[in-house]
Structure 1
């Protein structure tokens, strides 16, 4: 029944959605990156075999009708594409790394997470060099403020507390 209440949206490569708290959503197929703010109330709505807390779900779900707004990234530096969202808790950036180019990751004095979704990406900082392939991820500490990426691939970077 829950699936009938949802508004199906097909995303194309490079597109994104911002889903506010309390809004039911499901990822049906393909590759997607989901970043969410800190929460202690992730609830299942019935599309998985996991426990469903129906009474709690009904109290927190926003049942208002609305058409989701597709979001596209803006190139903010060479090879760096930033997704604009109303979230102040995080920022998501896509890195497009081409052979022979060096892409500077946006500087942040907080820990960050990077996920390679296509190809190979090599990260370099004062801490050393790390080679990553498709599906690999890296945890960048607050001390890794200046990081560059080389290779031939695509990666997503999640940064906290951008306000």
Structure 2
């Protein structure tokens, strides 16, 4: 059941329960922006994990794609089953989820980064190796430009796999 004024139901109970992490797909299709605002306002960034629910068409153009034995049509970035028309996962990538969270939902950069990296790492039991930039952890990072939050470089385990030539010299202070 949904949220009712006299019977808030399971949604409110889960948002208020500190043991629960809320997974949100911020693609503009699965959830209205107000639902994200409600989740962040109630649960906070430390309990929200931004996820993609992406299928093989993630980041690809419109067309037909397989999803197991099913056929999915992607049109205008929305993945729907050919038979029945139900939403069939998403084509969302995490950089787009980040960009939407900051520019449309007004999250701070820290909140968006926490929900995309630290929270999922903690949930998966990997917080000792990934999820934040700390000595002894994998040096996995994505560099975004400061204006439109587009990906400009990617580092995996300390090695640049794209765009790294722009960041060859690192100065620490």
Asked if these proteins are the same fold (TM beyond 0.5), I'd say no
More strand as a share of residues: 1
Higher relative contact order (CA 8 A, sep 6+): 1
Alignment TM class, shorter chain as reference: under 0.3
TM-score by length of 2: 0.26
Could you say which structure has the higher helix fraction?
A: 2
TM-score, normalised via structure 1 length: 0.27
